Amino acid sequence: MSVVVKSSRLKFDAAINARIGWHGLSTSDHRDDGDILVTGTDFQDRDIDWQGCKRVDRAIWDRDPAIQLRNGDILVTKDGTIGKVAVVKGLDGPATLNSGVFRVRLTSSIVSPTFMYYVLKSALFEDFVSLQGSGSTIEHLYQRDFVNFSYPLPPLEEQRAIADYLDVETARIDALIAKKQKLIHLLEERVEGSIFFGVTGALTSGDSPTQPSGIEWLGELPAHYGVPTLGAFYRSQLGKMLNAEAAQGPEQRMYIKNTNVRWDEFDLDDLPTMSFSSNDRARCGLVKGDLLVCEGGEVGRSAVWAGEVDDVYFQKALHRVRPVTEGNTRFLMYCLWAASNINAFTVEGNQATIVHLTGEKLREHRFPFPPLDEQAEIVARLDAQREKTSRLTRSLTGQIELLVEHRKALITVAVAGDFTVPGAA
CB-based burial of residue 211 (10 Å sphere; 0-12 exposed, 13-18 middle, 19+ buried)?
exposed
How many other β-carbons are positioned within 10 Å of the β-carbon of residue 6?
Answer: 9
Residue 37's pLDDT band (boundaries 50, 70, 90)? confident
List the domains of the chain with CATH numbers.
8-153 (3.90.220.20), 228-367 (3.90.220.20)
Average pLDDT over residues 157-169: 95
Average pLDDT over residues 180-205: 95
End-to-end CA distance of the chain: give it in Å, rounded: 18
* pLDDT at 384 > cutoff 50: yes
Residue 3's pLDDT band (boundaries 50, 70, 90)? very low
pLDDT at site 185: 96
Query: 312, 253 in Cβ contact below 8 A?
Result: yes
Q: What is the pLDDT of residues 349-370, one digit of tens each?
A: 444 445 788 999 999 999 999 9
Query: 211, 379 in Cβ contact below 8 A?
Result: no
CA dist 280 and 274 (Å) reads 11
Q: What is the pLDDT of residues 64-120, one digit of tens each?
A: 666 788 899 999 999 888 899 999 998 888 888 888 899 999 999 999 999 999 999
pLDDT at site 347: 54
Mean per-residue pLDDT over the chain, rounded: 88
Query: 5, 110 in Cβ contact below 8 A?
Result: yes
Backbone angles phi, psi at 38, to 5 degrees: -100, 130
Q: What is the pTM of this model?
A: 0.80
Which has the minimum average pLDDT: 31-45, 107-121, 228-242? 31-45
Residue 199's pLDDT band (boundaries 50, 70, 90)? very high
Query: Among residues 232, 225, 238, 210, which one has the least CA distance to residue 370?
Result: 225
CA dist 11 and 146 (Å) reads 9
pLDDT at site 318: 96
- How far, in whole angstroms, is CA 300 from its chain's centroid? 19
Query: Among residues 242, 233, 260, 193, which one has the least CA distance to residue 362?
Result: 233
Q: Could you give the count of Cα atoms lying within 13 Å of 84 in the half-sphere of its Cβ?
A: 18
Q: Sign of the CA dihedral 402, 403, 404, 409?
A: positive
* pLDDT at 150 > cutoff 80: yes
Query: 225, 201 in Cβ contact below 8 A?
Result: yes
pLDDT at site 118: 96
Report the residue count for the chain. Answer: 425
* pLDDT at 278 > cutoff 90: yes
Name every residue whose Cβ is closer than 8 Å to that of residue 51 and which is 6 or more positions away in sequence.
none
Gyration radius from the chain CA atoms = 28
pLDDT at site 241: 93
Residues forming a β-bridge with 355: 351
Three-state SS letters, the chain: CCCCCCEEEHHHHEEEEECCCCCCCCCCCEEEEEEEEECHHHEECCEECHHHCEEECHHHHHHCCCCCCCCCCEEEECECCCCCEEECCCCCCCEEECCCEEEEEECCCCCCHHHHHHHHCCHHHHHHHHHHCECCCCCECCHHHHCCCEEECCCHHHHHHHHHHHHHHHHHHHHHHHHHHHHHHHHHHHHHHHHHHHHCCCCCCCCCCEEECCCCCCCEEECCCECCEHHHHEEEEECECCCHHHHHCCCEEEEECHHHEECCEECCCCCCEEECCHHHHHHHCCCCCCEEEECCCCCCCEEECCCCCCCEEEECCEEEEEECCCCCHHHHHHHHHHHHHCCHHHHHCEECCCEECCHHHHHHCECCECCHHHHHHHHHHHHHHHHHHHHHHHHHHHHHHHHHHHHHHHHHHHHCCCCCCCCCC
